[in-house]
Structure 1
Amino acid sequence: MNAVVDTDRLIEGLGPAYLDLSDRIWDMPELRYQEERSAAAQIGMLEAAGFKVTRNLADIPTAFMAEAGEGGPVIGFLGEFDALAGLSQEAGIAEKRPVAEGGNGHGCGHNLLGAGAILAAVATRDHLKARGLAGRVRYFGCPAEEGGSGKTFMARAGVFEGVEAAFSWHPGSFNSLFPSQSLANIQAYFRFSGRASHAAASPELGRSALDALELMSVGVQYMREHMPEKARVHSAITRTGGLSPNVVQDDAEALYLIRSPQIPEVMALFERVRKIAQGAAMMTETEVGITVDKACSNLLPNTVLDELMQAEMERVGDSGFDDADLAYAGEIRRTLHENDIAAVYQMFGIEPEAEPPLLAGHVLPGPRHDLILPGSTDVGDVSWQMPVAQVMAASNALGTPFHSWQLVAQGKSGAAHRGMLFAAKTMAGSAARLFEAPDLLARARAEFEARIAKTPYRCPIGPEVDLPFRRGAS
């Protein structure tokens, strides 16, 4: 029997239990480094499947690795399970209706991501056993992708060493390869400290931290004209110093996220932002403290694995969405703007269709090595440790924005489940091909080694940066 067909059969048999796992994780949306229940649910499934689990990777309580198999090469699967703040939403409806006001929600489909990657890992292990093949499968439970760079901290600790190649996936609007390039980033808190005083009786005695923060913002705005075209700088004011306008605020803080296509560019921009903050502090006679929160590298492409995964997607074929899937997608479509749909086509560099489908179950042509993800992922740091390829599987109505209530609402839908099975078949089939074709794995490794030889990996999070949950409140 053909190897990849064998993995498809295994996934069809195993699928229901892992679809249930994805729904259970959807029901317990936990933020970065707080994913205790989600991690425990995944560990329970893996141990029941006969995997040996190593907990507390990189001293992160919710990071773990599960391994099965003997001898041969080691192939990894990357899974996520963290949610986003403020995106609580009832499932299966087409109107904004939070389950808990201000609560969390899986606004990027990570409840599906981790469960689908485990399903692929278990099916690959079963395939090796059935064929009597040497090889080991490792599943990495990776917390805090959303704003925490969990994989970067894991890479810094060396937990991915010894893995020959790895696969992952992400829910989306199309069946396609995940863009093989992305934006690197660094995120840091800028906290200004001044001197409080009565704003009317003795304003001359005050030194306003809030003034300093606002001046920093103005300085960053002027810097935007002089940045690389694809660079981005985002910010959020996390502390204003109080609610009383008649007090000179002595404490203010902002969180800045800086992105660019390459880590050296990000670091250069970060130094410029640091100088702007220091200048704002000098202008206001305040002090500024800077705390790096997290960072991640850009994705390193691997054309060999991309071509393998593209072929596997085309072999798996259409997602098989049914009438119920289309009906619900139609309800969601009515809540979207035409620009949401245009943005998805733009992301993949293709011309919008006159009548965009409600669900895009077909596979886009590829691979496209010119595409750059207009965002960031800590999978980037894993891709500097080994060859990595990712699939994006159609799991929601075409045009659904990431990090939206609409995406959360679709997280337990039939289309989401079909997208997860499509991704699992693609990943397991790709891994099976690597185990059965050592020359293919050797080619992927050779390309990887050649790229690394030109630009060796340097973790963007230095050894002096502690894990966010150990730093306490900023």
Structure 2
Amino acid sequence: MPRNSDLTPDKALAVKWINDNVAQLSRDHMTIWNLHEPSWREYKSSAWYVERLRAEGFDVEAGSGEMPTAFAAVWSNGDGPTIGGYAEYDAVPGASQDPVPRRQPRVGVNRHAAGHTDPHSALGMGSFTGFLAAKHVMERHGIKGRLKFFGEPAEKMCGSKPVHAAKGYYNDLDAAISFHPHSFPRLANSCFWDTHSAPYWSRIYTFECDNPETWQNAGAVTGVAHGHSAARAPGAIDAVCLMYTSSKYMKESMLPHHGSWSLNEFILHAGQAAADNIAPGLAQIQYSLRAPTLDMCARVFEVLDRNAEHCAAMTHSKVTANWITRTRAGLANHAMAEVTWRNFEAIGAPQWDEKARSFAREIQASLDIPPMEDPFTPEIQHLTAPWDGEKAFREQLPSWQTNLAADDYVDYTWHAPTVRLYVGRPTLRAPNPGYRYPEWTRHAMGGVPACIDPMWLTAGKVIATTILDLLSDGVSLDKAKSEFRERTGGGIGGTSWIAPLLPADFAPPVHYRWPEYVTTVRGQEWTIPTAAP
């Protein structure tokens, strides 16, 4: 519970507004959680936010940045600073889970369909709650300023924020707040200090075999001529197979054997020759890289580009390469972390009641783990100062590595002083050292209000009170902006500033065959038919 003596009247009013509206906000969260739409296909989720924001008096641009499921919403209470924040709402394919204490994919959709993992449903609701509470206080007490709230689709691909940044949507922000359910156990309730998220680059390679008949001379076939028996090009499937295997073999040669980096691939297309003996004409593979530095990213994609050209040549195909995203490394701002941390201290860590603990014990019992009196980890129930969390990071990283993991919030950090806030999400206590719970346990708790609401409600209170400080205390925002100018060598366009890595005319990658729900004569289905075993 908040230590009310540490809250100004404005902040206390923001916290009261949230407490008074818990029931409706909880239902709102479940609305998004139950939609569980994947990246670039969050049509219903984004439409819900657009409608709700307009009802709250925001001026909303739907489809901002040429992204159909993005939006940019603005509310003004007169001349004053502009504070930015955002909702995410994309779910993850293959993570379907009902809110029950056992492994059970959602009823009514394919077991490989999408589900909220982090969950982004709660991420978005926490930020949304904070901005609505701050707006309420601004109206009541005449606090001047402007709130700019974004809908950011496809975070799991680091998709929308680099596009918004490249197209100038963040250039008018004075500060920004980025919230995420905790990802690092030793930084469960805290803010990033120096070590922010690393770059994330992703590219699709499209292989096409347009003229398979020119691979060899079909007239060399003796006997009765028949297209199915004539020599034909290996085609696009072989190109993707070669790309996949050759790049796997060369992973160890792409970068040094140190520093945390990972390279993943996803095959979108594998030909259209359904049970017929013709050369596959189209295949696509996507590569996504997390690496600590921009230079490391560039080196990996030099290898991948070269591999793609050779694989295309070997299979009588052509290849085109198109960026999906390119993010920068996160830029720290201690002043933003400090003001947010002060409010987090006043609000306190999230707490879970007996209803949440009972559900967690049911999960433990289903896994043959003796139910615990307190089934949640201690880390999510107390605060960790940003500088103490930084020490924990540095213990596991080489001295040269200044960024870790990946998230596209980093593009905000180059356009305005930005804080990265983490709040503890429900996490089960291990029965013994080294034990790891199945992922479905986290996903299930994300759909149980008693388990997930304390996390995003706490975030909303921290965000609202921080917005109010930035707008009215006369110190925090000036300090943050001064530090931003110093770190960038003069602000946007400064000598140390890194510009967006996508061009301003970048066409968002919404047209690819991403996993999604579709409506057919059989009803709504995942891209794999619902009736599949």
Q: Which runs of 5+ in 1 are unaligned?
A: 339-354
Q: Which structure would you say has the larger Rg? A: 2
Q: Which residue of 1 aligns with 2:252?
A: 224
Q: Which residue of 1 aligns with 2:234?
A: 207
Tell me the distance in 1 between the aligned counterparts of 2:208 and 2:367.
43
Shift of 1:202: 5.3
Change (3 A) 1:47 1:236: closer
Q: Which residue of 1 aligns with 2:528?
A: none
Q: Which residue of 2 aligns with 1:37?
A: 44
State the aligned residue count: 457
Tell me the distance in 1 between the aligned counterparts of 2:386 and 2:277.
60
Tell me if structure 1 keeps the 8 A contact 2:83–2:173.
yes
Tell me if structure 2 keeps the 8 A contact 1:32–1:148.
no
Task: Trace 1:144-159 onto structure 2 (pairs within 5 A).
Answer: 144-147=154-157, 149-159=159-169
What is the one-letter code of the residue matched to 1:187? S
Q: Which residue of 2 aligns with 1:17?
A: 24
- Of residues 440-449 and 263-272 in structure 1, the stretch that sits farther from structure 2 once superposed is 263-272
What is the one-letter code of the residue matched to 1:217? Y
Tell me the distance in 1 between the aligned counterparts of 2:102 and 2:252.
38
Q: Is it true that 1:445 corresponds to 2:501 in the alignment?
A: no
Q: Which residue of 2 aligns with 1:407?
A: 442
What is the one-letter code of the residue matched to 1:59? E
Pick the aligned partner of 1:89 from 97, 101, 116: 97
Tell me if structure 1 keeps the 8 A contact 2:330–2:403.
no
Change (3 A) 1:386 1:402: farther
Task: Trace 1:251-330 onto structure 2 (pairs within 5 A).
Answer: 251-330=282-361
Q: Is it true that 1:391 corresponds to 2:401 in the alignment?
A: no
- Of residues 444-453 and 213-222 in structure 1, the stretch that sits farther from structure 2 once superposed is 213-222
Change (3 A) 1:233 1:8: same
Q: Which residue of 1 aligns with 2:75?
A: 67
Change (3 A) 1:455 1:283: farther
What is the one-letter code of the residue matched to 2:469? R
SS in 2 for 1:392: strand
SS in 2 for 1:469: coil
- Of residues 147-156 and 35-44 in structure 1, the stretch that sits farther from structure 2 once superposed is 35-44
Q: Which residue of 2 aligns with 1:137?
A: 147
Shift of 1:369: 4.2
Tell me the distance in 1 between the aligned counterparts of 2:498 and 2:31.
37
Change (3 A) 1:373 1:322: farther
Shift of 1:336: 7.9
Tell me the distance in 1 between the aligned counterparts of 2:227 and 2:73.
56
Normalized against structure 1, the TM-score is what?
Answer: 0.86
- Of residues 367-376 and 259-268 in structure 1, the stretch that sits farther from structure 2 once superposed is 367-376
Tell me the distance in 2 between the aligned counterparts of 1:31 and 1:473.
8
SS in 2 for 1:190: strand
Q: Is it true that 1:455 corresponds to 2:499 in the alignment?
A: no
Normalized against structure 2, the TM-score is what?
Answer: 0.77
Q: Deviations over 1:293-328 (max 9, x none)?
A: 223222211111112222222221131211121222
Change (3 A) 1:8 1:272: same
Shift of 1:168: 2.4
Q: Which residue of 2 aligns with 1:80?
A: 88
Shift of 1:96: 2.7
Tell me the distance in 2 between the aligned counterparts of 1:471 and 1:46.
29
SS in 2 for 1:253: strand
- Of residues 455-464 and 412-421 in structure 1, the stretch that sits farther from structure 2 once superposed is 455-464
What is the one-letter code of the residue matched to 2:204? Y
Work out the percentage of aligned pairs sharing the same amino acid.
23
Shift of 1:285: 4.3
Tell me the distance in 1 between the aligned counterparts of 2:276 and 2:73.
51
Q: Which runs of 5+ in 2 are unaligned?
A: 1-7, 216-225, 370-374, 394-401, 431-435, 490-494, 516-533
Tell me the distance in 2 between the aligned counterparts of 1:356 and 1:442.
39
Change (3 A) 1:240 1:40: closer
Tell me if structure 2 keeps the 8 A contact 1:183–1:259.
yes
RMSD (CA atoms): 3.2
